[in-house]
Amino acid sequence: MSGTTHEYTSHLVWTGNHGTGTASYAGYGREHEIHVIGKPSLAGSADPVFRGDPARHNPEDLFVAAVAACHMLAYLALCARHGVVVLDYEDRPRGILVTHAGGGGKFDEVVLSPVVTIADGVHEALALELHDTAHERCFIARSCAVPIRHEATVRVAPAEMPA
């Protein structure tokens, strides 16, 4: 079965040459910029534990955020298609990165913790179930080897008080 293809491109520029390039591990900066045509640039660096600038985005944060954002967008689309009115959606995703003494490492898991508020309690079970479907349809999650779990909470908005 063939599908439609979409290509995504960006331009990554290392800006951390402080005059001597990578002559020493401690002597170069991890700063970089990520450019995508027509969008604001992202100022990136390594995580501070890897000698990076804490004021800049790091690849690990961006990875976890990308997983969470993709899940949310897939979930909202599913809710709209199934008649579940979502009023609010928040997530505080977390990723666990395990490094190895010899260098390198990998994410051990990513856990999404979406808290969703829906308009009608009749859809509460469906709203919770649609998180599983969103996970199955999320482009980013389907492209990852790391286990991605979600611990969703669905809340029903309080009924408005009669006037």
- Phi, psi at residue 52, to the nearest 5°? -95, 170
pTM reported for the whole predicted model: 0.88
Q: Whole-number mean pLDDT of the chain?
A: 92
DSSP state of 21: T
pLDDT in tens, 105-132: 999 999 999 999 999 999 999 999 999 9
pLDDT at residue 1, as a whole number: 57
DSSP code string of 24-41? SGGGS---EEEE-TTS--
CA pair distance 56, 50, nearest whole angstrom = 13
pLDDT in tens, 26-74: 899 999 999 999 999 999 999 999 999 999 999 999 999 999 999 999 9
Please, which pLDDT band fits residue 2 given cuts at 50, 70 and 90? confident
Position with higher pLDDT, 159 vs 75: 75
Q: What is the mean pLDDT of residues 73-88?
A: 96
- Phi, psi at residue 3, to the nearest 5°? -120, 180
Using an 8 Å Cβ cutoff, are 114 and 95 in contact? no
Please, which pLDDT band fits residue 162 given cuts at 50, 70 and 90? low
- Bridge pairing between strands 153-156 and 115-118: parallel
